[in-house]
Chains A and B, each alone.
Chain A
Amino acid sequence: MKTTHRIALAPSLLLAAMAVSSCSTWHLDRSHSRPMDPSRPSTTVSIDKAPDNHTVSVQPSKDPHGDIGLTFSDNPAFKYFVDNHMYTDEVRTEEDITTLYIKILGFAKLGRKITITSQSKPAAVDDNLKLTFTSPNETDVIAWSKKMLHLGFSVTIDFDKTTRLYHCTATKE
Chain B
Amino acid sequence: MKRLITITLCLLAAALVAVTAWHLRPAPSHAPGKLFSRYEHQPGVRVGFLANFAFGDSLRADVVTLEALDSAGWLWMQSEFAFPQLDARRDSLLATGTDVLQTWILADGSSVAFLSRLDSALCIVQTDSEQQFEKVFMYHLQKMKEQ
Chain A residue nearest in CB terms to B100: A158
Q: Which of B90, B100, B134, B142 is close to A146, meaning CB atoms less than 8 Å apart?
A: B134
> How large, as a class, is the contact surface on chain B?
20 to 34
Pair B84/A157 contact, Cβ less than 8 Å: no
Task: Compute how far the CA of A122 lies from the CA of B51 in the bound complex, rounded to whole angstroms.
Answer: 44
Output the least CB separation between B133 and chain A (Å): 7
Asked whether, in the complex, the Cβ of A157 is within 8 Å of the Cβ of B85, the reply is no
Name the segment of A13-21, A57-65, A109-117, A165-173 touching the other chain: A165-173
Q: Which residues of A contact B137 (CB under 8 A)?
A: 142, 145-146
* Bound CA–CA A1/B98 (angstroms): 29
Chain B residues, CB < 8 A from A145:
103, 137
Q: What size tier do the contact residues of chain A reach?
A: 20 to 34
Q: Which residue of B lies closest to A160 (CB)?
A: B98
| A159 proximal to B (CB < 8 A) | yes
Instruction: Enumerate A122-161 residues with CB–CB distance to B below 8 Å.
Output: 138, 141-142, 145-146, 149-150, 152-159, 161
A146 in contact with B133 given A154-B84, A156-B86, A158-B98 (CB within 8 Å): yes
Closest to B145 in A: A159
Q: B-facing mask of A51-82, CB < 8 A → 1, else 0?
A: 00000000000000000000000000000000
Contact B141 A166 (CB under 8 A): yes
Q: Quick check: is B138 within 8 A (CB to CB) of the other chain?
A: yes
Say if the beta carbon of B87 comes within 8 Å of chain A.
Answer: yes
In the complex, what's the smallest C-beta–C-beta distance from A152 to chain B, in angstroms? Answer: 8
B93's partner among A138, A152, A158, A173 (CB-CB below 8 A) is A158
- Known contacts A157-B144, A169-B87, A173-B85, A138 near B138 by CB under 8 Å: yes
Q: Do residues A159 and B104 form an inter-chain contact, with CB atoms below 8 A? A: no
Are A156 and B141 touching (Cβ within 8 A)?
A: no
Q: A138-B138, A171-B85 are in contact. Are A157 and B100 (CB under 8 A)?
A: yes
Query: How far, in Å, is B130 (CB) from chain A's closest CB?
Result: 8
Q: In whole angstroms, what is the CA distance A146 to B86 when docked?
A: 19
B105 closest partner in A (C-beta): A149
Query: Are A171 and B141 interface neighbours, CB within 8 A?
Result: no
On whether the beta carbons of B141 and A154 are closer than 8 Å, the reply is no
Known: A138-B138, A142-B138. 20 other contacts (CB 8 A): A141-B141, A142-B137, A142-B141, A145-B137, A146-B130, A149-B103, A149-B104, A156-B84, A156-B86, A156-B102, A157-B102, A157-B141, A158-B93, A158-B98, A158-B144, A159-B141, A159-B144, A161-B98, A166-B141, A171-B85
Question: Interface on B for A, CB 8 Å cutoff?
Answer: 84-87, 90, 93, 98-105, 112, 130, 133-134, 137-138, 141-142, 144-145
10 contacts between A and B (CB under 8 A): A142-B134, A142-B137, A142-B138, A149-B104, A149-B105, A152-B105, A154-B84, A154-B102, A155-B103, A158-B101
**Would you list the 4 A-B pairs with minimal beta carbon distance, nearest first?**
A154-B104, A154-B84, A157-B101, A142-B137
